[in-house]
Structure 1
Amino acid sequence: MWLNEEQVIDSAIRGYRKTLLRSSPNHIVIDNLFNDAKLQQVIRVLQQEHNWQTQQHTYSALYVDNAKWQKTHKKQRFVQRDMWLRDGTSMNSADSNSALQFLAFLRSDEFLSLLSRIFRVVITDINVAEPSINTNYFRLTASDFVNLHADDSPGREVCMLLYLNKDWHSSCNRENNNGGELVFKGTDNNPITIAPLYNRCVLFDPASEGSEHWVNALTTQNSHQYRYNVTSWYWSE
């Protein structure tokens, strides 16, 4: 079982729903939603140096190659990060298999049903041409970035972020803070900052006011330290 059952009982769902409706942007933060032992297997796969590829987006084009990237002004670059290559993954170990299975679970009927209960809209992949490409692992280093952008798209109802960072430090003191926080633009000049702590799931409505967001730069001086997360997008009928 990928989900922690106590986090998805009816009373918990009602609580998520209330929080969602009262927040701006409409979002909820759920800690320990997923099974810790299974996520540990996933993390071991992500920590392997192979199966990662740099991904670069500009405000005018996605998946930009290096030649175009170098010609693009820095203010027009909004994403530089690594994307996990599931097609290059060896299936010879239980851990590797678990990483793929988790991505599949996040598009399963069970998980889509959970999102439907929380957001009270039918979440489905019936009209999504390639569901699998809308759920994947990503990592950031201190030199990477995710700048201000919106995830709204016709029919897109839910965006999910799940953080997979063990022993991540979050503090007002910069010296004890690894950075990498998700920041929603929010409303009335009140941005909302969420630390990327292990097994923390953020669900939000990308069409809600103030849902534009960015990621704070990593403050770690360790060039080999990564901020890992799953990003997943979901549509209605």
Structure 2
Amino acid sequence: MWLNKDQITPSALRSYRKALLHASPNHVVIDNLFDNQKLDTVISVLQQEAHWQSQKHTYEALYVDNTKWLQTQQEDRFVKRDYWQPKANNTDDTTTIALDFLTYLRSNEFMALLSRIFKVSLTDINVANPAINTNYFRLAATDFVKLHADDSPGREVCMLLYLNKNWSNCANNSSDNSKGGELIFKGTNNTPIRIAPLYNRCVLFDPSSTGSEHWVNPVTTGSKQQYRYNITSWYWSE
């Protein structure tokens, strides 16, 4: 079982629901939602360089090629990062584990859990290609995710799960121990919300709620070979 049973008790779910409703934007941060040992096996797969490809988005178009990217002004580029794409002829037992976790995150069991927290019926019945809506991503010091919104018609829940061990939980980037990479919600009343990308930290939010626009602080590890890893997953109602 991928989930940590201690974090999905009836009382825990009630607390998540309460936190979600009282936060602006509507979001909840859940630490240790998943089984740590099973996530460790996933992390080992993510270290394999061959499985990563570059991804670039502009405010005008998603998934642009290098030619289009170079033609786009710097201020109109909003995502540069890597996404996980295992090669079809290079799938071993460890890679299968990572794929299994992505499959689980789109399973009826997991979507039912999210449905209970958000009080909405989530389903992939009308999603053309569910698999592309759940994947691993990584950011290096040269990458970025700028201010954007994740709201789309019917999209009810966004999930971020961080897979970074020994990452700083500093309140700001002034500490020498900070590695950056914090998720920043725009928030309300000029009060941004900063969330450190700690290992096995899950952030769930309503992308249509006020202040849910967000960006990622630059990674400041000082090395191009040190990455901030996460899973991003989007869910729709019927």
Common fold by TM > 0.5: yes
Contact persistence 1:51–1:89 (CA under 8 A)? no
1:54 aligns with 2:54: yes
TM-score (norm 1): 0.98
1:31 aligns with 2:39: no
Deviation at 1:89, TM superposition (A): 6.9
Q: C-alpha separation between the residues in 2 aligned to 1:109 and 1:148?
A: 31
Q: C-alpha separation between the residues in 1 aligned to 2:33 and 2:89?
A: 26
1:233 aligns with 2:230: no
1:160 aligns with 2:159: yes
Deviation at 1:92, TM superposition (A): 2.3
Deviation at 1:5, TM superposition (A): 0.6
Q: C-alpha separation between the residues in 1 aligned to 2:191 and 2:88?
A: 42
Q: How far does the alpha carbon of each residue in 1:125-173 deviate from its partner, in whole angstroms, 9 at most, with x for none?
A: 0110100000000000000000000000000000000000111123244
Contact persistence 2:86–2:95 (CA under 8 A)? no
Contact persistence 1:25–1:211 (CA under 8 A)? yes
Contact persistence 1:4–1:32 (CA under 8 A)? yes
Partner letter of residue 79 of structure 1?
A: V
- Secondary structure in 2 matching 1:174: coil
Change in 2 beyond 3 A, CA 1:89/1:32: farther
Q: C-alpha separation between the residues in 1 aligned to 2:142 and 2:72?
A: 17
Q: How far does the alpha carbon of each residue in 1:35-79 deviate from its partner, in whole angstroms, 9 at most, with x for none?
A: 111100000000111111100000000001001101100000000
Where does residue 202 of structure 1 map in the other structure? 203
Where does residue 9 of structure 2 map in the other structure? 9
Q: C-alpha separation between the residues in 1 aligned to 2:129 and 2:13?
A: 29
TM-score (norm 2): 0.97
Contact persistence 1:155–1:236 (CA under 8 A)? yes
Structure 1, unmatched stretches of 5+, are: none
Deviation at 1:3, TM superposition (A): 0.1
The residue correspondences of 1:46-125 to structure 2 (distance < 5 A) are 46-88=46-88, 90-93=90-93, 95-125=94-124
- Secondary structure in 1 matching 2:176: helix
1:186 aligns with 2:197: no
Q: C-alpha separation between the residues in 1 aligned to 2:89 and 2:193?
A: 36
Q: C-alpha separation between the residues in 2 aligned to 1:27 and 1:83?
A: 24
Q: C-alpha separation between the residues in 1 aligned to 2:92 and 2:189?
A: 52
Where does residue 133 of structure 1 map in the other structure? 132
Q: C-alpha separation between the residues in 1 aligned to 2:19 and 2:49?
A: 38
Contact persistence 1:55–1:79 (CA under 8 A)? yes
1:150 aligns with 2:143: no
Change in 2 beyond 3 A, CA 1:89/1:118: farther
Identity %: 66
- Secondary structure in 1 matching 2:50: coil
- Give the paired residue count: 236
Contact persistence 1:125–1:131 (CA under 8 A)? yes
Deviation at 1:90, TM superposition (A): 3.0
Structure 2, unmatched stretches of 5+, are: none
Deviation at 1:175, TM superposition (A): 1.3
Partner letter of residue 29 of structure 2?
A: V
Q: CA RMSD in A?
A: 1.0
Q: C-alpha separation between the residues in 1 aligned to 2:64 and 2:92?
A: 33
Contact persistence 1:55–1:63 (CA under 8 A)? yes
